[in-house]
Amino acid sequence: MEFVRPDSGCAMTARPNLRMPGARNGLRIVVDARQVFRPQRRGIGKTLINLYTTLAELRPHWNFLLVHQFETAVPQLDPLRNLGKKRIDFCGLNRFDLWEQAVLPIAASAARADILHAPANTGPKRSAVPVVVNIHDLIPLETAPNTEETRLWLARVKLISERSRHILTGSEYSKRKLVEVLGTPADKITVNAWAPDKSVVRIEDPAAIAAAKARCGLHPSEAYLFAFGASDPRKNTAGLLQAYATLPAGVRREFRLLIVGIQEASLPEFQSLAAALGIEDAVRLCGFSPEEDVAPLLSGAAVLCFASKYEGFGLPILDAFTCGTPLLAGNRTSLPEVGGDAAHYIDPYDLDSFRDGLLTMLTDEAYRCTLSARGLERGRLFTWERTAETVARVFESAAGARAR
């Protein structure tokens, strides 16, 4: 059954089949692609675009259907003939999680899929099609362990971990947590590291970097410390502002602080904090930047600060490596596993450690050059071809288990 929104009203219309692209030669994969089509796309959405554009090329005889809920253009997907897109949406789907629990498994069955890929920690409680789920992390359990919301979320994650055919996760750290907390058998989990965003490449053109800086309120000649911010406390945006405020005034004059990606509703909170710390003139706080600005902003930065308190992987690390940007990172959870010897690590909970790390990075140009070279080398270990091949093997195994 294919559900589509009619031209007006909230009624539901139906058609007899939800067609997959191409002929039936290889596996049929249906993907929960809501994260891909969100208007403001974050990490999971970006990785899915990179994964499936690669996988569709590596497995041209397979057929993929990205099922989604939002009307957003994703031109990277258009050239791939074995990759289809289908929007399914009508009034009431967001109540009781009906889209994930009812529409998604029905769509997979209607498409006669071999595998349903649930890429964002949860999935349908019941599915006639075998489910492969990505469980990236157990962050709510770490950041708000005693809330009712976390208890309900954890119950959903545990259920999908038990009922799925196989689990993918991005780091050995996350795998250990799934085994320890959920009791998942280790052999049911495959660690599959992500790779750098394909749209992020090292930018050498000073004019392109200057234009991106100008859109963030920086003068072309200003050097800057760069970070991705968020209202989520684990991203440590407030901690970065506090640590930056403790730097010598001369260092702050030489290196501005640019933070992008902050939700619009949270900007006033961080602007007020910067003012209270007396650094509002040295700081540029911005909302979501266009995706095409990420590479020039990274390429032009003196340092990327990624001092998160908790990550299941840490995608900005790889983007920094691609751009040759020296990296300062938190020393907790998965970040040292991903960054290896190509980052300067600080304790994100310790203001002195944070300050000392910033001071070391910003005052030692030779050290920054060393980390830049290490990052470029380490970044070559992470490729979408390797990531996609691992996913393909997991899908083949899960589909084979179904046949048996």
Q: What is the pLDDT of residues 70-81, one digit of tens each?
A: 888 999 999 999
**What's the pLDDT tens digit per position in 14-49?**
343 466 665 556 999 999 999 999 888 888 999 999
Measured CA to CA, the distance from residue 390 to residue 387 in angstroms comes to: 5
147 shares its domain with 272: no
236 shares its domain with 371: yes
Q: Sorting pLDDT into bands at 50, 70 and 90, what band is 92?
A: low
Helix (H) or strand (E) holding 322: helix 315-323
Comparing 295 with 12, which gets the higher pLDDT?
295
- Angle (CA) 79-84-90 rounded to 5° is 130
pLDDT score of 10: 43
pLDDT score of 39: 83
Reported pTM: 0.90
Q: Is residue 335 part of a domain?
A: yes
For the chain, what is the mean pLDDT?
A: 92
CA nearest neighbour of 229 among 285, 190, 269, 276: 285
In Å, what is the CA distance from 255 to each residue of 113, 221, 222, 247, 270?
A: 53, 11, 7, 10, 19
Q: What CATH number is given to the structural domain containing 238? A: 3.40.50.2000
Q: Which of 16-30, 107-121, 124-138, 375-389 has the lowest mean pLDDT?
A: 16-30
282 shares its domain with 397: no
Share of the chain above pLDDT 70, in %: 92
**What's the pLDDT tens digit per position in 270-307?**
999 999 999 999 999 999 888 899 999 999 999 999 99
Task: Give me the number of domains the chain comprises.
Answer: 2
Beta bridge partners of 315: none
pLDDT score of 185: 98
Measured CA to CA, the distance from residue 315 to residue 231 in angstroms comes to: 18
Measured CA to CA, the distance from residue 108 to residue 67 in angstroms comes to: 9
Are 354 and 328 in contact by the 8 Å Cβ rule? The answer is no
Contacts of 48 (CB under 8 A, 6+ apart): 31, 33, 35, 36, 119
Are 171 and 313 in contact by the 8 Å Cβ rule? The answer is yes
115 shares its domain with 190: yes
300 shares its domain with 327: yes
pLDDT score of 276: 98
pLDDT score of 49: 97
302 shares its domain with 185: no
pLDDT score of 24: 59
pLDDT score of 41: 84
281 shares its domain with 371: yes
Q: Is residue 201 part of a domain?
A: no
In this prediction, residues 245-266 reach a mean pLDDT of 97
72 shares its domain with 133: yes
95 shares its domain with 168: yes
In this prediction, residues 115-139 reach a mean pLDDT of 97
175 shares its domain with 274: no
Q: Is residue 200 part of a domain?
A: no
CA nearest neighbour of 209 among 307, 292, 90, 136: 292
298 shares its domain with 327: yes
Q: Is residue 84 part of a domain?
A: yes
SS3 content of the chain, % helix, strand, coil (to 5): 45, 15, 40
Q: Is residue 107 part of a domain?
A: yes
Q: Is residue 138 part of a domain?
A: yes
By residue range, what is the domain housing residue 303?
206-379
269 shares its domain with 374: yes
Q: Is residue 10 part of a domain?
A: yes
Q: Is residue 28 part of a domain?
A: yes
